[in-house]
Structure 1
Amino acid sequence: MAQSTQLHVVTGKGGTGKTTVAAALAMSLAGQGKKVLLCEVEGRQGIAQLFDVPPLPYEERKIAVGLGGGEVYALAIDPEAALLEYLAMYYRLGRAGKALDKFGIIDFATTIAPGVRDVLLTGKVYEAARRRTGGRFTYDAVIMDAPPTGRITRFLNVNSEVAGLAKVGPIRRQADSIMEMMRAPETRVHLVTVLEEMPVQETIDGIAELTSERLPVGHVILNLVRPSVLSGVSQKALAAGSVRPAEVASVLAAIGLERDVTVAEALIAEGEAHLERQRLQDAQREILDDCGRPLVELPLLSDGIDLGALFELAEQLGDLR
């Protein structure tokens, strides 16, 4: 029997780079020769921007090939299109469903019943993860660029969201099937954070909420980690306050630059600020060391994110299988 498709759900506080991490994870798995589907559910077209391709339609489209020969397909899941597909699949409302869309009923339904909207979004991921081609699963792995940490448990726990809307029927059965997949051994919810107080606290809270709902937590990815640019000797000197502007100005002159005390003072201030940022990073990392989940660090890339950067980050994500 073919192995089940792996489902990786990537979440994180806004601004932590969860879409970048999801894309890098897709490239990492493709680098292992896997066929991967990368899905987004928030309508931001972030995946298209990262891979520098046209805006994604509501269909699976190949966007990249990994170093190991695997392929990355992408899909932007639209709730209205998903509902039309759902109506055609379960109620055989082909043209009638499109007529409803013209009257705005589709938009109305997904607005007043956000639980149904989430079932439609996660339901499309479920369909892709469980689809078979030629006797085996179509995709080796499916990655969902999911909503932020503060909403992820509610988004994934579709059973509770539809409890008051559908006791029986296709929607209820769909929700039950989705929850079975979300809690399966092949599923992991990865949390992306930066080493700052608010994102780290939201990550800790997210782990607790996901665990309480029996949703499987995977790795915590520490993104945009700043490397130290100071030697140990310089760090000790700055911490002790023993670096003097005149001494720094002399060093500037020795390497052929202007002996400028004002510039030297600015360099010392920047060094002290850098040292303080490193201390804050280290303090937040210590907090996450006790979160009970494996940690992965991704560096801050000064040249921005492009396809080459995704390959670079993908090398760090080899353990997320």
Structure 2
Amino acid sequence: MSDWPKVRLHVVTGKGGTGKSTVAASLALALAGRGKNVLLCEVEGRQGIARMFDVDPLPYEERRLTTGLPDGSGGRGVVHALHIDAESALLEYLSMYYRLGRAGRALDRFGVIEFATTIAPGVRDVLLSGKVYEAVQRNSRNKKAQQYDAVVLDAPPTGRITQFLNVGEEVAGLAKVGPIKSQSDTMMTLFRSPRTAVHLVTVLEEMPVQETADGIAELRKARLPVGGVIVNQVRPRDLTAEDLAAAGAGTLDRSLVESDLEHAGIDGGAGLVESLLAEAADHAERRALEDSQRDLVARLDVPTYELPRIAGGIDLGAMYELAGLLREQGMS
């Protein structure tokens, strides 16, 4: 059973380098089981979805990517993708709500849209998050649009996520009344509801874990719903506790290492043995640091999930593997 059965909007954030985009894509694949349709969105202009799925750069248009993770019952949903940029979102907004089709495109040609989003940076976040809201909460203004059972957002990093979602505060300085203020209030109703969950991706290092803790505190202060913490790129646990302690203390049996190398047909001499013992000591030190950071993550009092480091790099097969692990742990 999923830990998040009522959630329609899964927002995935994390410090740069933690693999949040990979986790977002894997979560979309996991959710797209049992016949569910899922939309995977990105808003940072990096075309990360296209690179991960090895497709052409995405336009401002919902595109079918692939089928979801098989669930064993024969049902497989579809993952669609959407690359959102502020200029296209504003043109669509003007067309849908003010019927400024050609006029809106004329504004774009004159650079008015870029000028507006530059002079008031908060407008850009409102436009981007507004399109995400529209994908979740489809209405009669966007007729014939695909309906989705879930939307996964590859969101801005942890340091900006509260500002990005807290559109009510952004709009407060721009408009006190009117349709923009009214729409931002409606968006906040979704973003603060049980239908939204903000998941945070981290790795077991001091700075990402601390940023995750700070992000959770900021989200809660803004009354935005905190989801789970996904600990990504976890190293394998190949050594027993006894061998790990011996590696850290520098007391591993040198003769046993030499014997194992000889048995494997490897003749690297004393230099190879010294290198292996040094690497084992480094690994033990790293594992001790990771264990201390895992304890800190456990104290955050939110559901946690772990994903392993993929040695061969991330491709579609690896993302299906990660999707299966997320499902096994109850995230989808």
Q: For the superposition of Structure 1 and Structure 2, which TM-score range results when normalised by the shorter chain?
A: over 0.9
CA distance in 2, matches of 1:30, 1:233: 42
Match for residue 183 of structure 2?
A: 174
* Structure 2 residue 239 is matched with structure 1 residue 215: no
Q: Which residue of 1 aligns with 2:11?
A: 9
User: Could you tell me how far apart the structure 2 residues matched to 1:246 and 1:308 are?
Assistant: 40
What one-letter code is carried by the residue in structure 2 that aligns with 1:45?
Q
Using the TM superposition, give the Cα deviation of residue 253 of structure 1 relative to its aligned residue in structure 2, in angstroms.
Answer: 3.0
Post-superposition Cα deviations, 1:35-58, rounded to whole Å, max 9, x if no partner, equal: 001100011110111111111110
Q: Is the 8 A contact 2:250 2:277 kept in 1?
A: no
Is 1:145 matched with 2:158?
A: no
| Distance across 2 between alignment mates of 1:243 and 1:219 | 39
Q: Give unmatched runs, 5+ long, in structure 1.
A: none
Higher deviation after alignment, 114-123 or 248-257: 248-257
Retained in 1: the 8 A contact 2:249–2:281? no
Q: What's the counterpart of residue 22 of structure 1? A: 24
Q: What is the distance in 1 between the residues matched to 2:18 and 2:172?
A: 32
Q: Tell me the distance in 2 between the aligned counterparts of 1:201 and 1:30.
A: 32
Match of 2:64 in 1: 62
Q: Are 1:206 and 2:215 an aligned pair? A: yes
Alignment partners' CA distance in 2, 1:137 and 1:153: 28
Q: Is contact 2:39–2:151 with CA below 8 Å preserved after alignment?
A: yes
> Cα distance, 1:261 vs. partner?
1.3
In the alignment, the residues of structure 1 paired with residue 173 and residue 46 of structure 2 have an alpha-carbon distance, to the nearest angstrom, of 30
Paired position in structure 1 for 2:94: 87
Deviations 1:137-176 (A, max 9, x none): 8110011110000000011000101111111112111111
CA distance in 2, matches of 1:132, 1:101: 25
* 8 Å CA contact retained: 2:162, 2:219: yes
Looking at structure 1, the residues matched to 316 and 62 of structure 2 have their Cα atoms a distance apart, in angstroms, of 19
DSSP 3-state at the match of 2:132: helix
Which residue does the alignment assign to 1:76? Answer: 83
CA distance in 1, matches of 2:253, 2:296: 35
Give the alignment partner of residue 204 of structure 2, picking from 185, 195, 198.
195
The 2-side partners of 1:316 and 1:250 are apart by 37
Select 1:292's aligned residue among 290, 301, 309: 301
Any residues of structure 2 matched to 1:100-139 within 5 Å, and which?
A: 100-131=107-138, 138-139=147-148
Q: Aligned with 2:32: secondary structure?
A: helix
CA distance in 1, matches of 2:260, 2:311: 27
1:221, 1:298 within 8 Å by CA — same for their partners in 2? yes
Q: Tell me the CA shift for residue 84 of structure 1.
A: 0.8
Q: Does the 8 Å CA contact 1:11/1:147 hold for their aligned counterparts?
A: yes
What is the CA–CA distance in structure 2 between the aligned matches of 1:180 and 1:25, rounded to whole Å?
Answer: 24
* Counterpart position of 2:163: 154
Q: Which has the larger displacement, 283-292 or 137-146? A: 137-146
Superimposed CA distance per residue, residues 76-106 of structure 1 (whole angstroms, 9 cap, x where no aligned partner): 0110011111112222211111111111101
**Shift in Å, 1:240:** 3.4
Task: Return closer, same or farther for 1:38/1:231 CA change in 2, 3 Å cut-off.
Answer: same
In the TM superposition, residue 33 of structure 1 has moved relative to its aligned partner by: 2.3
Contact 2:38 2:150 in 1 (8 A): yes
1:242 matched to 2:244? The reply is: no
- Aligned to 1:55, the other structure's residue is in SS state coil
Tell me, yes or no, if the aligned pair for 1:58 and 1:77 is still in contact at 8 Å: yes
Corresponding pairs, count: 319
Deviates more, 1:286-295 or 1:136-145: 136-145
User: TM-score of the superposition, structure 1-length normalised?
Assistant: 0.94
Quote the sequence identity (%): 61
Structure 2: where are the runs of 5+ without partners?
A: none
Asked whether the equivalents of residues 220 and 294 of structure 1 are also in contact (C-alpha less than 8 Å), the reply is yes
Q: Whole-Å Cα distance in 1 between the matches of residues 255 and 194 of structure 2?
A: 62
Asked whether the 8 Å contact 1:5–1:140 carries over to 2, the reply is: no
